[in-house]
Structures are given as C-alpha cells and as structure tokens.
C-alpha cells in the first residue's frame, strides 16, 4: 500500500484539493491530472506544488478558450436528461458536463492570460482529448479519482465505460452526489468487472464520509428506522473555486432542477444567492447516501433524508454537520446514534480526506481481486 500511483480527472475546486491533501497522506503519488483543456503526466510524480500554484484562482471550470471547447471528451448522444425529460446540450456546449458557466462571456473560467487551468502549469499540455490522454497512460496508474462535474448525469458512468473499454485494470473513484447515477454505474458493473476495475462511487463527504458514518452508527441496531444527514458548509474563501459544486447544489432547491441549474448564467446564480443573503438551505436532497445505504442492506432508501445549509459569505459553518441513525437494538431498545463533525473541519477536508481514504480501500480490494461497483457503506462493517 505504499506505492499507489493515481490520476485526477478534473482539477477544479475538488480536484486541486485532492492533489493537495494527497501530499499529507503516505504512499500516494499523483502521476497524472487533467481538466477540460489540458493534461499533465509524469510517471515519476507530478510536481504538485507547481501545479497548484499555476492553477491557483485559475481552474478552468468553464468552457471558454482553449482547445477543449468542442472536445472529444464531452458526453455525446446521452439521450434525454432524466431530471427534466429534455435533451441535454450538444457536445459543443461544453457546459453539458459542468454547468452553464458558458452562458455569460467570461463567466466561470478563471485564467492567467491565455492560459486557462492546467495548461498554465509548466507541466501541462493543451489537449482536445484530456480523458483519452489519461486513458492512454492508465497502464501505469493504480487509481483514478474523478473530480468531474456531474450536471450531465451519465457523464461519469460513460467515463468509467471508456476506461473499461480500454481494458484499464485498477481503481476508479468518484465524489458524485446524485442517487440516480449509482444505478447507471451498476448497469455497467459487468463491463467494469471484466476489465478488472474496482469502482468506488459516491465517496466524497455526503455521500461518502457520512454514508460510511451512518453504516457504522447502524451497527448498534438490528433494525434501522431513519438516517438523517444534516450538513453545514461555509465557503466564503472557497466560493470562487467551488462554483461547480454550488451550481450543482442549486439544482436541489425548490423550483430548480438539473436542467435549469445547468443553464443559469453566473449573474443569475449571483442574483439567487443575493436573494438568500448568501445562505442556501436544502431539504430532501437527492443525495446518493440513500441508495448507497440501501444497496449495503442498512435501511430502505426512503428512510434516508439529506439536507443542509450552504453559506457562501462566511467561512464559519452555518450549522454543525451531523448524521443521526435511529434504530432498534436486539434487546428492544430504541436509540439514536449521532456522529458529528467538528465545525473546524472544512468541506474540502471532509471530501478529500475520505475520498483518498476510500481510494486506498479501493486499491486494497482491487489488489485482492475484488472488482465491480462498491459504495462507501460496502467498505464498512456489514449489516
Ligand atoms: N460528494 C461530496 O461530498 C461532494 C462535495 C463537493 C463537490 N462534489 C462534486 O465534485 C464534483 C467537482 O466539483 P468542483 O467544485 O471541483 O467542480 P469545478 O467546476 O470546480 O471543477 C470541474 C473540473 O472538471 C474539469 N472538466 C469539466 N469537463 C471536463 C471534461 N469533459 N474533460 C476533462 N475535464 C473536465 C474542469 O476543467 C474542472 O477542472 C462535482 O460533481 C461536485 O458535485 C461532491
């Protein structure tokens, strides 16, 4: 376990932090990274500090500029969007995969001069096919972490499929949020298994860290009645770098869906945030914690509720993140086990620490020959 070579797909708010956090973990060497416009590969290990410096305030989260604009790596012929029933944007509308940053000029892309994202790094090369370029190097990669946008629901499952079709053998891990995507990965399980891929899905904070916590908290019980996940995120200093995540969260608000959120301009997003004084509250979110707990046999998906509060104008968490699992013990008592995160731990710490922990768990499983699709709760004590 002291020699895991990994790649990061997407170096936005999450992917950059993944690289940074990996430097504080043993045995992880970042050997490849890409964003929509560029790729950096060094099998002896990327210079992560240089990459982070070059992409500081410059994360290519939107589509303008650079060769990736009509990239072969965009999702294609993906059919009707499940949330809205309408047809998603065409491949040339780059935001099909990551939101409507394209809707206003200059919106969503932060760049130094002409250099947007990874190509601003001396290790970066421009490319029109960033994901294919990583696939081409994947023989020498043990794990691939997907920090890609998920506004096009089948984007991540399709990326997984492409790795499998190229006979990649190793771990893939994502931090996606939406429940419905897990089924799309399950649909591809045969292909992933055949290739020798251990796919760990929904392995960020929620779903991910908190799903695992719920699975652990459930162990006191023989019957679980309810799982309540309530998260708080304060994002003032990280707001610019996490616009992709904020846009995806907006799709959970009443009156919005994935389609409307994807097509909002940056100005419209700002106006919405102003209307709420910078604080957005979410209830009954479609977070995959539900299906991930059900597929691990912990409880029914309908008994899992996820909500939370996002404050983009303060770094203080607006509410404490908790997971409460209510159930009945073998001897007839009813109780609630609660897991609470310290307010001092940031969203970035709670997504990327667990994501890299699950990545390592994935590698252990992969090396033991366990292939297929795993959720965070599958990597905890069984129920
Ligand atoms: N599970 C959790 O707890 C959790 C928490 C936060 C964020 N997330 C998820 O993490 C994901 C990433 O969020 P973010 O804030 O980093 O987004 P972001 O918009 O900041 O970054 C996305 C990155 O993907 C790259 N990209 C987009 N399309 C691409 C393509 N076709 N090929 C190659 N690269 C491409 C962009 O250039 C950018 O580097 C989102 O899906 C978000 O929902 C999950």
Q: For the residues of 322-379, what is the DSSP string, one character each?
A: EEEEEEE-TTS-EEEEEEE--TTS-HHHHHHHHHHHHHHHHHHHHHTT--EEE-GGGG
Q: Which ligand 1 atom minimizes the distance to the CA of 75? A: 31
pLDDT at 152: 87
117 shares a domain with 60: yes
79 shares a domain with 183: yes
155 shares a domain with 120: yes
Query: Which residue among the candidates 74, 110, 161, 252 is catalytic per the annotation?
Result: 252
128 shares a domain with 26: yes
List of residues 6+ apart from 60 with CB closer than 8 A: 11, 12, 35, 36, 37, 38, 66, 68, 109, 110, 111, 116, 117, 118
What is the mean predicted confidence (pLDDT) over 130-150? 97
Digit-coded pLDDT (tens) for 327-344: 999 999 999 999 999 999
**Is residue 84 predicted with pLDDT exceeding 70?**
no
pLDDT at 88: 37
Digit-coded pLDDT (tens) for 349-374: 999 999 999 999 999 999 999 999 99
**What is the percentage of the chain residues whose pLDDT exceeds 70?**
85
What is the mean predicted confidence (pLDDT) over 254-283? 94
**Is residue 299 predicted with pLDDT exceeding 90?**
yes
> Token pair for residue 112?
């130094």
**Is residue 100 predicted with pLDDT exceeding 50?**
no
pLDDT at 136: 98
Whether 10 has a binding-site annotation, put simply, is yes
159 shares a domain with 92: yes
250 shares a domain with 271: yes
Q: Which of 148, 154, 209, 291 to mutate to test the pocket of ligand 1 (most atoms within 8 A of CB)?
A: 148
128 shares a domain with 45: yes
Question: Per the structure, how many domains does the chain have?
Answer: 2
DSSP letter for 80, please: S
Q: Which of 133-137, 238-242, 379-383 has the lowest mean pLDDT?
A: 238-242
CATH number of the domain residue 196 falls in: 3.40.50.720
pLDDT at 57: 79
**Is residue 177 predicted with pLDDT exceeding 70?**
yes
153 shares a domain with 55: yes
Q: Does ligand 1 come within 6 angstroms of the Cβ of 55?
A: no
**Rounded to the nearest 10 degrees, what angle do helices 347-367 and 209-217 cross at?**
70
pLDDT at 60: 73
Angle at 79 between CA 166 and CA 76, to 5 degrees: 40
Q: Does ligand 1 come within 6 angstroms of the Cβ of 61?
A: yes
183 shares a domain with 44: yes
Sorting pLDDT into bands at 50, 70 and 90, what band is 62?
low
**Reported ipTM exceeds the 0.90 cut:** yes
245 shares a domain with 143: no
Sorting pLDDT into bands at 50, 70 and 90, what band is 114?
low
Q: Which domain holds residue 375?
A: 4-206+349-379
What is the mean predicted confidence (pLDDT) over 19-34? 97
86 shares a domain with 214: no
Quote the ligand 1 centre to 12 CA distance (angstroms): 6
60 shares a domain with 191: yes
State the chain's mean pLDDT as an integer. 88
């Amino acid at each position: 376990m002291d020699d895991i070579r990994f790649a990061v797909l997407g170096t936005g708010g999450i992917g950059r932090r993944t690289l940074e956090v990996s430097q504080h973990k043993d045995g992880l060497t970042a050997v490849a990274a890409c964003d929509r416009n560029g790729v950096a590969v060094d099998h002896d290990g990327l210079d992560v500090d240089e990459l982070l410096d070059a992409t500081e305030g410059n994360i290519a989260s939107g589509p303008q500029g650079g060769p990736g604009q009509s990239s072969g790596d965009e999702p294609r012929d993906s059919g009707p969007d499940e949330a809205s029933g309408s047809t998603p944007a065409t491949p040339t509308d780059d935001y099909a995969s990551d939101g409507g940053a394209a809707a206003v000029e200059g919106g969503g892309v932060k760049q130094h001069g002409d250099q947007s994202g990874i190509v601003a790094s001396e290790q970066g090369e421009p490319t029109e096919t960033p994901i294919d370029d990583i696939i081409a190097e994947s023989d020498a990669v043990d794990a691939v972490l997907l920090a890609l946008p998920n506004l096009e629901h089948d984007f991540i499952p399709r990326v997984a499929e492409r790795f499998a079709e190229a006979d990649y053998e190793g771990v893939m891990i994502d931090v996606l949020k939406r429940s419905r995507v897990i089924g799309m990965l399950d649909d591809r399980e045969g292909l992933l298994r055949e290739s020798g891929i251990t796919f760990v899905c929904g392995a960020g904070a929620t779903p991910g860290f908190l799903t695992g916590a719920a699975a652990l908290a459930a162990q006191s019980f023989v019957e679980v009645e309810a799982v309540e996940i309530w998260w708080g995120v304060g994002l003032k200093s990280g707001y610019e770098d996490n616009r992709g995540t904020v846009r995806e969260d907006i799709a959970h608000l009443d009156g919005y869906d994935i389609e409307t959120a994807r097509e909002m301009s940056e100005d419209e997003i700002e106006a919405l945030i102003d209307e709420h004084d910078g604080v957005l509250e979410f209830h009954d979110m479609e977070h995959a914690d539900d299906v991930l707990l059900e597929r691990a046999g912990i409880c029914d998906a309908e008994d899992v509720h996820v909500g939370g509060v996002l404050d983009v104008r303060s770094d203080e968490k607006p509410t404490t993140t908790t997971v409460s699992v209510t159930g009945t013990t073998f001897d007839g008592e009813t109780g609630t086990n609660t897991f609470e995160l310290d307010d001092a731990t940031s969203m970035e710490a709670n997504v990327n620490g667990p994501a890299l922990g699950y990545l390592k768990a994935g590698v252990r499983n992969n090396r033991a020959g366990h292939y297929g699709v795993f959720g965070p709760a599958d990597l905890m004590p069984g129920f």
